[in-house]
Chains A and B, each alone.
Chain A
Amino acid sequence: GNSVTQMEGPVTLSEEAFLTINCTYTATGYPSLFWYVQYPGEGLQLLLKATKADDKGSNKGFEATYRKETTSFHLEKGSVQVSDSAVYFCALSGGGYSTLTFGKGTMLLVSP
């Protein structure tokens, strides 16, 4: 079956540091890949997506590239802000976006 593995947190960074959150997946066929973000007390917000190999999703300074050869979709940001502090979830869907398989989530804490 489908599965997503992402790095354990929390990830603690100072403002303006470079961020990488690793995500690898196992899936049959050609899944679509997503990063969602969850702020305290809130639901999930779509951060970015990629639907095929070598696609790069980007939004608000965050980027991730769909790497089929390494089955990875690592999230990066060049300079984090305190407001980026949240939990980040990597997810995939196969055969339609309606059913998502999520990783366990990675908490990011950014200090001034």
Chain B
Amino acid sequence: KAGVTQTPRYLIKTRGQQVTLSCSPISGHRSVSWYQQTPGQGLQFLFEYFSETQRNKGNFPGRFSGRQFSNSRSEMNVSTLELGDSALYLCASSRDRDVAFFGQGTRLTVV
């Protein structure tokens, strides 16, 4: 059974640009959550989608957004990138209210 797939694995962007990250969940999983991991702040919850609806949201500015498609694949978008957005972005999928399985992450570097 394939795991959670995140693309791309690495990204380098310039300040002010926008970026879109993609996550394909495990087959049959309808919940997708996103986390930001940085050395200073650790792992922080961004948002969760279930059946194409945002079900929960963390404490991040509106520049961070996401969506989920009918096949449960999810994307997150960060607009007007700042240097502080450099991080590992992790996606996790689960059945509804079940254990979360994580992808390998997308390493975003903003220069």
Please tell me if the beta carbons of B102 and A99 are within 8 angstroms of each other in the complex: no
CA gap between A111 and B7 in the complex, in Å: 34
Interface size class of A (residues with CB under 8 A): 20 to 34
How far apart sit A105 and B35, CA to CA, in the bound complex (Å)? 15
Q: Which of A36, A49, A98 contacts B94 (CB 8 A)?
A: A98
- Which residues does chain A contribute within 8 Å of B33, judged by CB atoms? 98-100
Q: Per DSSP, are chain A's interface residues mostly helix, strand or loop, or mixed?
A: loop
**A99 CA / B55 CA spacing, docked (Å):** 10
Q: Is the CB of B42 within 8 A of A42?
A: no
The closest CB in chain A to the CB of B103 belongs to: A43
Among B4, B43, B98, point to the contact of A102 (Cβ < 8 A): B43
What's the least CB distance linking B50 to chain A, in Å? 7
Q: Can you list, as one digit per residue, whether each of A18-56 has a CB less than 8 Å from chain B (1) or not (0)?
A: 000000000000000010100001111110010000000
User: Number of residues in B with C-beta < 8 Å to the partner?
Assistant: 25
Give the distance in Å from the alpha carbon of A44 to the alpha carbon of B56 in the complex.
21
Contacting residues, chain B, for A97 (C-beta < 8 A):
94, 97-100
Which residue, A36, A46, A97, A102, has most C-beta atoms of chain B within 10 A?
A: A97
Interface assignment of B26: CB less than 8 Å from any CB of chain A: no
> 4 new A-B pairs (CB below 8 Å) besides A41-B104, A102-B42?
A98-B33, A98-B48, A99-B33, A105-B42
List 26 A-B pairs, Cβ < 8 Å.
Answer: A34-B99, A36-B102, A42-B104, A43-B102, A43-B105, A46-B99, A46-B100, A46-B101, A49-B99, A89-B43, A97-B94, A97-B98, A97-B100, A98-B31, A98-B33, A98-B48, A98-B50, A98-B96, A98-B100, A99-B33, A99-B45, A99-B48, A100-B35, A100-B100, A102-B43, A105-B42
